[in-house]
Amino acid sequence: MPIPNGLPTPGDPLGKPIPADISVNNRHPNDPAKILFRNVQILDSTGREPYLGDVLIEGTTIKEVGKVTADPDADTTIIDGEGRKTLMSGLCDSHTHLSWNNSPTLDGLTNLPIEEHVLHTANSAKLYLDCGYTMCFGAAAAQPRLDVVTKAAIKSGMIPGPRMLANGQEISTTGGAIVPSVTRYADGVDEMRKAVRYFCSLGVDNIKLSMTGDEIHETMRSEETYFTLDETKAAVEEAHMRGKRVCAHARSNDSVKLCAKAGVDVIYHASFADAEAIAMLEALKDRIYVSPAINFPYTSCTGEATPYGLTPEMAVKKGLKREVETAALAMREMHKRGIRVLPGGDYGFAWAPHGTYARDLAHFVNMFGYTPMESIIAATALGGEIMGHPDVLGKVLPGYYADVILVDGDPLKDISLLQDTMNLHAIVINGHLHKNGAMRAFIPRGSDHLPMSVVPEGEEVVRVRGKGGRGRGVEEKPAEMRNGEGGGKESVGFFRDGVGEVGGQNGERSGVSAEVVKGL
């Protein structure tokens, strides 16, 4: 075990991440001493089917789960679930950018004066909580200390927000920054160590490495890798010596392998992971997490980005549709192999705005082959794990923190219920009743007009194989595919427009590389 300051113990030269402080001191003097949820469907995130019962909260923790027989006293607030409302753990976003400002451009992420940016970040923290998210794993901040000061404000009770792990800006190499304005550059082993030390000195919990390009960029492709193994190892060693976690923007196959070899804790995207890379992750499945953050490239292809100059046709040309389809195959295989894959969608862009976070859970069902129960467990119980506190976060069990949401209906029958805050009839964090009653969260202007559909109406997920293609057959619901000959690449179709190009004559760009599915 690491000693309290996070330095390595004897015999452990690299150190390990240690559980970070996730406390929130948000209880008010007028908060009830107890909250009793009666007659609710309890979804406890252990895998057990929901069951009718009661849940008693005392102070900051869950006291009883099942049948509460004691009569409530005057200090107890009673909330009746009417036998149909579902009580479940608050959700976790594993790829959080509180300070991303719903910009339609990459450069616009830092176009706010610092004063306005602080206000925006604080509002995003509240919005996460309003949407039922009680855990946020920081994936990078627009300014070095924005996450750190926001976490401190939440912890002190100054502002409402989720339990969070704070990150700094992204670290990347010269020529490897997707967004230069949110990047600290480091080349070589010594500079990597120095950059990590700098952010640790600011009080971050996580370190972010930006290792690959991104198809949204004009010139930097997702399959390009900008880190060496030595640079990656140096960053991880330095962070782990201080008990910090390392997450990495790693879309390319090579970057996923670098992350596995170097000891990165959380891999973001992993879109182009091939059979060998997935096997490496499977061997490390008790240590490593994957967060695909699929919503941003997905909404780039559905028409939701059209008002901002990115049409579905442009998304095809950029390779975004191909990446979504490739990533879907990879995530399905990771899920089958028991690799821990968590929701979290890179929210904070104009067409993937703050306040739409729960779309990710539907993506896991519709794209990755998860059941609704598996998707919810990934967003709750696995959320407690990635936050470093699996014994007190992410489940509705006695002794766990009182971080719960009451949903009007059954999310196992309709996972999209979680996307509408009107369906969240109660939100509790740390025993504080943040919300009690049906009311819709306020989403800032600039994002509240965007559509909320997850899959275009009438479309079904289908896997097809082009003429001459290879790989095993997969039975899915049939969907009409056009021009599905030639190319010889196995693909997954999700989109109404241009779906015929998948596996067809444009298969090299729009199809899924056979290497992704070879041997799986």
Evaluate whether 459 touches 475 at the Cβ level (below 8 Å).
no
Tokens of 446: 């600039």
Q: Is residue 511 part of a domain?
A: yes
Per-residue pLDDT, 15: 62
pLDDT by residue (tens digit) across 34-90?
A: 999 999 999 999 999 999 999 999 999 999 999 998 888 889 999 999 999 999 999
Looking at residue 111, what is its pLDDT? 83
Residue 254 within any structural domain of the chain: no
**Average pLDDT per run of 10 along the chain, which is 520 residues long?**
36 63 86 94 98 97 93 91 98 98 88 92 97 98 97 96 98 90 96 98 98 79 91 98 97 96 98 97 98 94 93 93 95 98 94 96 98 99 98 98 98 98 97 88 51 32 31 32 32 33 29 32
CA atoms within a 13 Å half-sphere pointing along the CA-CB vector of 47: 1
- CA–CA distance, 123 with 354 (Å, rounded to integer): 10
The 10 Å Cβ neighbour count of residue 219 is: 6
Residue 491 lies in a domain: yes
Residue 464 forms part of a structural domain: yes
Is 516 part of a structural domain of the chain? yes
Q: In this structure, is residue 67 part of a structural domain?
A: no
Residue located via tokens 């300051």: 5
Could you tell me if residue 475 is inside a domain? yes
Nearest of 122, 128, 120, 38 to residue 77 by alpha carbon = 38
> Which residue range forms the structural domain that includes residue 518?
458-520
Domain count, the chain: 1
Q: Is residue 520 part of a domain?
A: yes
Under 8 Å CB-to-CB from 30, ≥6 apart: which residues?
Answer: none
Q: Are 358 and 417 in contact (CB under 8 A)?
A: no
